[in-house]
């Protein structure tokens, strides 16, 4: 189990607004995750870059969690993160999908399986030191 990092609740991030997370990936990072949705058991997006974890290396796993049940994984082989470096990630969404803007102009998309209308819950876990979170 990942140590819980930062947990934000009672948010009201609307479609088109963005959560911008800046932070540092420690040199010995194995994996980290950003979660967003209605609550810890209802996640529209579990965004999980794995440097080396669960038998995966340098891949991003995206999934949804609905009523405590995981959906189908989406695996993203483009891996823009480097251990020991600062990074910035911006997440936004609309009725159809969630968009994650990654370092180096890369963007990944994940379907809005929960039909999420506002992001009320956001958490960071694993090997990621948050420096700032902004809502734009």
Q: pLDDT digit of tens for each residue in the chain (136 aa)? A: 445 689 999 999 999 999 999 999 999 999 999 999 999 999 999 999 999 999 999 999 999 999 999 999 999 999 999 999 999 999 999 999 999 999 888 999 999 999 999 999 999 999 999 999 999 8
pTM, two decimal places:
0.95
Give the SS3 label for residue 52. strand
For the residues of 10-34, what is the DSSP string, one character each?
S--BPTT-EEEEEEE--TT--BEEE
Domains of the chain with CATH codes: 4-135 (2.60.120.200)
């Amino acid at each position: 189990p990942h140590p819980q990092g930062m947990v934000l609740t009672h948010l009201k991030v609307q479609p088109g607004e963005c959560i911008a997370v800046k932070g540092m990936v420690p040199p010995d990072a194995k994996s980290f995750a950003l979660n967003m949705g209605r609550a810890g058991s209802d996640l529209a997006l579990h965004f999980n870059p794995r440097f080396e974890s669960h038998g995966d290396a340098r891949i991003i796993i995206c999934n949804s969690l609905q009523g405590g049940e995981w959906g189908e994984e989406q695996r993203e082989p483009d891996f823009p993160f480097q251990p020991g470096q600062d990074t910035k990630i911006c997440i936004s969404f609309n009725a159809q999908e969630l968009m994650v803007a990654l370092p180096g102009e890369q963007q990944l998309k994940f379907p809005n399986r929960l039909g999420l209308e506002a992001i009320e819950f956001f958490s960071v876990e694993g090997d990621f030191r948050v420096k700032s979170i902004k809502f734009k």
